[in-house]
Amino acid sequence: MTIELHTWNTPNGRKISVALEEMGLPYKVIPVNITKGEQMAPGFLKLSPNNKIPAILDPDGPGGKPVSIFESGAILLYLGEKTDKFLPKPLAERIPVYEWLMWQMGGFGPMPGQVHHFIALENETDRAYGLKRYMAETRRLYGVLDRRLADREFVADALSVADFAILGWAWRHPRHKVELKDFPNVERWYNALMARPATKRGMEAKLD
């Protein structure tokens, strides 16, 4: 049963392609061209009521019935539950996965996303304040991640969906104007993940 991945080539889309590859789940990409407003189409709205990519349609959901899921964090948790992979069973081990997944969803995504917005503005006056504010916060978040990875291989010790979520945004570090060498623990973690064959396939999957 092939999962439909409705997405575009963005950090949030890459989270899911990486997870699907790492979990060994068959999927097909259905591009949603957000530059043309395709995320506002009624058909996509049925899958994602917030009109945001990504969304998935799993024909083999709970009870063998089709199910659609929107919001990248919810999709990652669903896929982890479905496959029993990258989402530990013991609650004590699952807590840091939840923490670092929510850290990404609430901070290391929205803040770099603002950098993406302001850096694209042509008017220097419009750009200056936003870039100063959001670049500083983005670097702070890289620092938080770097400290977390100082004494562990992955953010929740074992590789988990939280790593896939964060990787989707760390992948855009050149666009954030962040040099990973400034955050050596993040750089080591990033390179280790990118060297994984399944992660590499997920990062190279054509999403647009």
Same domain? For 51 and 137 the reply is no
In the chain, how many domains are there? 2
At 126 the pLDDT is: 80
Same domain? For 97 and 191 the reply is yes
Per-residue pLDDT averaged across 176-205, rounded?
97
> Would you say 186 and 138 are in contact if contact means Cβ atoms under 8 Å apart?
no
* pLDDT per position as a tens digit, 150-189: 999 999 999 999 999 999 999 999 999 999 999 999 999 9
Same domain? For 57 and 148 the reply is no
Per-residue pLDDT averaged across 21-33, rounded?
98
At 129 the pLDDT is: 84
Same domain? For 59 and 104 the reply is no
Same domain? For 65 and 107 the reply is no
Q: CA 115, CA 127: separation in Å to the nearest integer? A: 9
Half-sphere exposure (Cβ direction) of 206: Cα atoms closer than 13 Å? 2
Give the residue among 2, 20, 8 at the shortest CA–CA distance from 66. 2
Both tokens of 140, joined, read 């702070």
* pLDDT per position as a tens digit, 44-84: 999 999 999 999 999 999 999 999 999 999 999 999 999 99
Both tokens of 76, joined, read 């990652």
Same domain? For 123 and 68 the reply is no
Same domain? For 56 and 125 the reply is no
Same domain? For 133 and 66 the reply is no
* pLDDT per position as a tens digit, 84-136: 999 999 999 999 999 999 999 999 999 999 998 888 888 888 888 888 889 99
Q: Is the dihedral of CA 150, 155, 156, 158 positive or negative?
A: negative
Q: CA 31, CA 53: separation in Å to the nearest integer? A: 10
Q: CA 40, CA 147: separation in Å to the nearest integer? A: 39
The CATH code of the domain that includes 161 is 1.20.1050.10
- The alpha carbons of the chain give a radius of gyration, in whole angstroms, of 17
> What distances in angstroms separate CA 136 from CA 131, 139, 140, 141, 176, one per listed residue?
8, 5, 6, 9, 10
The CATH code of the domain that includes 23 is 3.40.30.10
Same domain? For 82 and 96 the reply is no
- Its domain, for residue 31, covers 3-86+200-204
Same domain? For 81 and 104 the reply is no
Same domain? For 155 and 192 the reply is yes
Same domain? For 67 and 100 the reply is no
* pLDDT per position as a tens digit, 75-92: 999 999 999 999 999 999
Q: CA 68, CA 142: separation in Å to the nearest integer? A: 32
Question: Is the overall model pTM greater than 0.95, yes or no?
Answer: no
Q: Is the dihedral of CA 159, 165, 168, 172 positive or negative?
A: negative
At 122 the pLDDT is: 82
